[in-house]
């Protein structure tokens, strides 16, 4: 039987470590203070308003009906993205977006594209099981 005192000490130690880890992350965010432009931020909110993530992924996370769009901007180009947003597809509804909305969503996807590469082929696999990107 572990004594109550010991259990409390272990729990308190873990909670303190967790709080330290959490607040350390909040105050030293991984990408620093590289903020998106106001336009890209509005685009991100539109992305959420239309729940685009239910069908598409960013960095592999999201729904799986559509493809990963992290690097769609550099792979497909802005015109291709605009055409999609303007008309929808056989599967994707036409949201009848205004031109400003389309530009903001495009700015968001440009911003996401600039943040890194999500294509798994760009990773090298190390012998210890970790992965790295150049």
Partner 1 sequence: MERLHRNKISTEKIFILFALLLLAGAMLFGLLGALQYLIPGLLKSRLSFERVRPLHVSSVVFWIIMATMGTAISFLQEHTGKKLYSAQLLGIQLWIFILTIICILTSYCLGIFGGREYWEFPPLLSIPVVIGWILFLINFIKSAGSLKNQPVYVWMWLTGIVFFLFTYIESNLWVLPYFRNNVVNDMTIQWKSYGSMVGSWNMLIYGSSIFLMDKISNNKTYSHSSIAFALYFTGLFNLMFNWGHHIYTLPTQPYVKNISYLVSMTELVILGRIIYNWKHSVSAAKKLFHETAYRFLLAADLWIFLTLLLAIAMSVPAINVYTHGTHITVAHTMGATIGINSFLLLAMAFDILNEGCRSLEPYKKMLNRGILTANISLLIFWLSLIAAGIIKARWQMSGLQLPFSVMMQALRPWFIIFFLSGIALTTGFLLIIYPLVKNQLVCHLKWTIKRRKSSIRTKAALAME
**Which residues of this protein are in contact with partner 1, per CB under 8 A?**
1-2, 4, 7-8, 10-11, 14, 17-18, 21-22, 25-26, 29-36, 41, 44, 47-55, 57-68, 90-93, 111-112, 115-121, 123, 125-126, 129-131, 133
Is 60 a binding residue for ligand HEM by CB under 6 A? The answer is no
Q: Is 64 in the site for ligand HEM (CB under 6 A)?
A: yes
* Ramachandran region, residue 67 (left: φ > 0; alpha: ψ -120 to 50; beta: rest): beta
Q: Is 67 in the site for ligand HEM (CB under 6 A)?
A: no
Residue range at the interface with ligand HEM (CB under 6 A); choices 61-69, 76-84, 88-96, 107-115:
61-69
Alpha-carbon distance 90 to 133, whole Å?
36
* Gap between the Cα atoms of 72 and 80, Å rounded: 9
Distances from the Cα of 50 to the Cαs of 1, 21, 77, 91, 120, in angstroms? Answer: 54, 33, 21, 15, 27
For residue 55, the minimal CB distance to ligand HEM (Å) is 7
Total site size for ligand HEM, rule CB under 6 A: 3
**What's the alpha-carbon Rg for the chain, to the nearest Å?**
21
């Amino acid at each position: 039987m572990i004594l109550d005192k010991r259990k409390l000490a272990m729990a308190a130690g873990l909670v303190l470590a967790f709080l330290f880890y959490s607040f350390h992350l909040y105050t030293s965010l991984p990408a620093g203070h590289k903020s998106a432009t106001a336009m890209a931020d509005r685009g991100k909110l539109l992305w959420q308003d239309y729940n685009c993530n239910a069908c598409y992924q960013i960095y592999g996370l999201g729904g799986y009906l559509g493809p990963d769009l992290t690097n769609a901007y550099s792979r497909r180009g802005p015109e291709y993205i605009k055409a999609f947003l303007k008309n929808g597809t056989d599967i994707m509804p036409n949201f009848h977006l205004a031109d400003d909305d389309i530009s903001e969503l495009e700015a968001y996807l440009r911003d996401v594209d600039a943040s890194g590469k999500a294509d798994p082929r760009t990773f090298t696999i190390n012998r210890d099981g970790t992965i790295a990107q150049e």
